[in-house]
């Protein structure tokens, strides 16, 4: 089984406002992406591959509404709050926070937790208080993972090391796994590995041997959890990643990085065709 994830970040912002969206009006954006990919994705059997799209919250309803019943395409939330409503207790005092049960009620089936951008945000908040504690970030993320599973969602949990952490990657990734997944039902979680040091313009992409080494490490530490490459599955590396036995899929973001930069459904489908071999 292959696992192909799509993180649409804030790609909904129109180009006129400084974003990258030129494919659809903002109100139709989520549904447009689903409508223009679901038929092609259906050619892959449900026992062959699963596809999950993580959208900004405003687009979840339209995207979910465009889904066909059943199938191998699911919609997920970009993160959730670490607490949730409880019967006989807190019935909704979560202003500005989206909870796992709220996302489940909308129709989401999965959630993205621990993305390097989320980790950076949490560290930035701590830095305002004069604190630099990556273990604390892992503990907060552990609460989010637990809240997601309790709400009935599956989780794509991201791990990764920065350039400053690369010489101690085993310690860094080990703690992200040990602390972040403490007392969590492993059957509800997949791992996305993000080599943060290699992501971005002008940086050298992680090579096959390095990615395979990390994937083996993660599988050993987690008892064989599914591992997706989170450094960006794209046309340039799809065939290479498909050749690594320990890699079970990938996380796609932008599809075009030069010229008319943005996310385009037809290019998304081409990446999948290259990775799946058809």
Residues with active-site annotation:
115, 194
SS3 string, the chain, reads CEEEEEECCCCCCEHHHCCCECCCCHHHHHHHHHHCCHHHHCCCCCCCEEEEEEECHHHHHHHHHCCCCCCCEEEEECCCCCCCCCCCCCCCCCCCCCCHHHHHHHCCCEEEECCHHHHHHHHHHHHHCCCCCHHHHHHHHHHHHHHHHHCCCEEEEEECCCHHHHHHHHHHHHHHHHHHCCCCCHHHEEEEECCHHHCCCCCCCCCHHHHHHHHHHHHHHHCCCCEEECCCCCCCCHHHHHCCCCCCEEEECCCECCCCCECCHHHHHHHHHHHHCC
């Amino acid at each position: 089984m292959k696992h192909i994830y799509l993180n649409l970040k804030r790609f909904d912002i129109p180009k006129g406002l400084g974003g990258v969206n030129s494919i659809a009006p903002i109100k139709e954006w989520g549904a447009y992406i689903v409508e223009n990919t679901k038929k092609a994705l259906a050619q892959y059997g449900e026992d062959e591959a699963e596809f999950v799209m993580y959208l900004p919250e405003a687009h979840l309803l339209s995207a979910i509404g465009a889904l066909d019943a059943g199938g191998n395409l699911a919609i997920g939330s970009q993160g959730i709050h670490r607490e949730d409503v409880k019967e006989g207790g807190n019935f909704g005092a979560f202003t500005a926070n989206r909870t796992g049960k709220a996302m489940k009620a909308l129709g989401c089936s999965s959630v993205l937790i621990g993305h390097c951008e989320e980790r950076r945000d949490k560290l930035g908040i701590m830095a305002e208080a004069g604190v630099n504690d990556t273990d604390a970030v892992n503990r907060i993320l552990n609460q989010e993972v637990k809240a997601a599973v309790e709400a009935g969602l599956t989780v794509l949990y991201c791990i990764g090391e920065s350039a400053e952490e690369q010489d101690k990657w085993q310690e860094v990734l080990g703690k992200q796994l040990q602390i972040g997944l403490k007392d969590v039902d492993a059957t509800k979680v997949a791992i996305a590995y993000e080599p943060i040091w290699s992501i971005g313009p002008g940086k050298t992409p992680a090579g096959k041997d390095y990615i395979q080494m990390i994937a083996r490490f993660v599988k050993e530490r987690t008892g064989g959890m599914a591992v997706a490459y989170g450094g960006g599955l794209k046309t340039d590396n799809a065939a290479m990643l498909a050749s690594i036995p320990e890699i079970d899929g990938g996380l796609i973001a932008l599809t075009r990085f030069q010229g008319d930069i943005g996310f385009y459904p037809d290019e998304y489908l081409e990446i999948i065709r290259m990775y799946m071999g058809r």
